[in-house]
Structure 1
């Protein structure tokens, strides 16, 4: 497929201008320059125009934006995250941004695009031109084996631009984006490097059939629970007959760390890793400090013994779209296969849907982790697609399955 004309940079000027006249910002830049916009690194003076590049829907003062640029952007860069600002070539005004996450340990690129809310009729065009600039650069020059972007399915011009660059659909999380008073699908598009496709073969697009109807879960949540024989552990948030979910704390660190050294299952995709209790204590010690957190973690506790047997939680909470990622892990093999993981998951879903009022949840597992994929389907999650070559394990590239579940589907299936 031929490269869109917008990806061809103009010839650089031999002598850059000496003034800062409007429209001179891209002069001398040799790549990531299109017909109407160009992409440049984020700068300190962007603090005064944060609405064009800041991902939060809430406004921020220039002082707050400046602090973010000084403190957070360098931290992001150390983790392999690149922030670029899209500017109009005609006057150098920022009109959007791109965030590209280059994994430190794996040559992939995962991107997100943002367009300034003004004027709204140009947002799709800005995103489309950014894709036309970024995808060839990431594949051809940066040699990323996988390039993927999160897109809004309600922007057909952007989806068309993605397909024009060779990106193809990987997964679709239904109605996960709230924009302009309506829900839209969150769709991810991916392109795999042609040289690696030649070596390994083409796994095909992640979405083979769109809009598959959800199937009835084999293990739906109970509508009514019997009275338990066991007392509630301290600080319980939600409970069933056998289990309780309570906030994780630094006191759970030793249990979790010990479980990593006693793990018998090695088919999770990237193998087993012995973790330090210091790491868990850091993760969980200040949990709940934020009034509006972006994640919520629970300890899964046996009511009969008050033993912590695992953890689960909500991650990447989107309080505008009312969605979140779910994750769970049962620490020891002896507690697996008895329905405890599914019971704990339904407690988590009850908390997500009935207390927080979330619209939907989503989850992912590596394709090698067939046990977790089967558990999600059993709990009522729908297959949403696949994203390829996200990591390496067992001497081969690993892919991941995506799943979603809407609150109304979970409620309708309760027995």
Structure 2
């Protein structure tokens, strides 16, 4: 990759409730707790066991990746790390990226996640020059789907019964947002 990619720079994005900043390896300990939260596990496809060193290496290397943008979501008032937002799977030919997020329990229910999503999606369209941002979410992840719809994503389709979870098949909703739709909001 070259440094000319739209994700080479790792910005700090500040809103009223959230500050998005580049990750450091020191964030690994807090992120380990967040990714083991039962709600995070349920809506990210199941538990994943990462060792402490692997997490330190992962979060410590996020700023070196110029084909994706991983930012830590922090509470603006307390500075506490509460989750992450990511633009990845960048397609330079079609100016498309995929959005994903996870917010731990200490960041939920206060608008921090909504603002974090709005900040990174805005960056994707307004600064990185993306044409389209897409995402996939489990149909039963009502909290996340509400946030995505609130910031402008629309349902483009449903992938039926993609995962068996606790004996029940789950659907996955495919959503997308275009630059022109973002600008019109």
TM-score bracket for this pair, using the shorter chain length: 0.7 to 0.9
Higher helix residue share: 2
Q: Show the counterpart of 1:253.
A: 28
Question: Partner of 2:102 in structure 1?
Answer: 329
Q: How does 1:320-359 map to 2 (within 5 A)?
A: 320-332=93-105, 334-359=106-131
What are the within-5 Å matches in structure 2 for residues 153-172 of structure 1? none
| Paired residue secondary structure (1:324) | strand
Question: 1:384/1:392 Cα in 2 relative to 1: closer, same or farther (>3 Å)?
Answer: same
The number of residues matched between the two structures is 176
Structure 2 counterpart of 1:311, from 84, 94, 108? 84
- Alpha-carbon distance between aligned partners in 2 of 1:322 and 1:260, rounded to the nearest angstrom: 29
1:99-128: CA deviation from partner (whole Å, max 9, x where unpaired): xxxxxxxxxxxxxxxxxxxxxxxxxxxxxx
Partner Cα distance (1:383, 1:371) in 2: 15
Q: In structure 2, do the counterparts of structure 1 residues 368 and 394 end up closer, same or farther at CA, with 3 Å as the change threshold?
A: farther
- Structure whose CA Rg is larger: 1
Q: Give the corresponding residue for 1:240.
A: 15
Hey, what does 1:387 align to over in structure 2?
Answer: 159
Counterparts of 1:146-225 in structure 2, within 5 Å, are none
Residue of structure 2 in register with 1:288 after alignment? 63
Q: 1:369 to 1:272 in 2, by over 3 A?
A: farther
What is the CA–CA distance in structure 2 between the aligned matches of 1:376 and 1:388, rounded to whole Å? 20
Post-superposition offset of 1:270: 4.2
CA distance change for structure 1 residues 302 and 283 in 2, over 3 Å: closer, same or farther? same
Deviations 1:10-46 (A, max 9, x none): xxxxxxxxxxxxxxxxxxxxxxxxxxxxxxxxxxxxx
Alpha-carbon separation, structure 1, partners of 2:41 and 2:62: 29
Is it true that 1:363 corresponds to 2:135 in the alignment? yes
Residue 329 of structure 1, CA deviation? 1.0
The 1:355–1:236 alpha-carbon spacing in structure 2 relative to 1, beyond 3 Å, is: closer
TM-score with structure 1 length normalisation?
Answer: 0.40
- The CA RMSD over aligned residues, in Å, is 2.2
1:155-211, CA deviations, whole angstroms, 9 ceiling, x for partnerless residues? xxxxxxxxxxxxxxxxxxxxxxxxxxxxxxxxxxxxxxxxxxxxxxxxxxxxxxxxx
| Kept after mapping to 1: 8 A contact 2:34/2:103 | no
CA 1:260 to 1:289, structure 2 compared with 1: closer, same or farther past 3 Å? closer
The 1:327/1:264 distance shift into structure 2, 3 A limit, reads closer
* Structure-2 separation of matches of 1:360 and 1:265: 26
Q: Which has the higher contact order (CA 8 A, sep 6+)?
A: 2
**Contact 1:313–1:328 (Cα < 8 Å) also in 2:** yes
* Alignment match of 1:276 (pick from 34, 41, 51): 51
Higher strand share: 2
| TM superposition score normalised by structure 2 | 0.84
Secondary structure of the structure 1 residue equivalent to 2:152: coil
Distance 2:44 2:81 in 1: 25
Gaps of 5+ in 1: 1-234
Residue in 1 that maps onto 2:174: 402
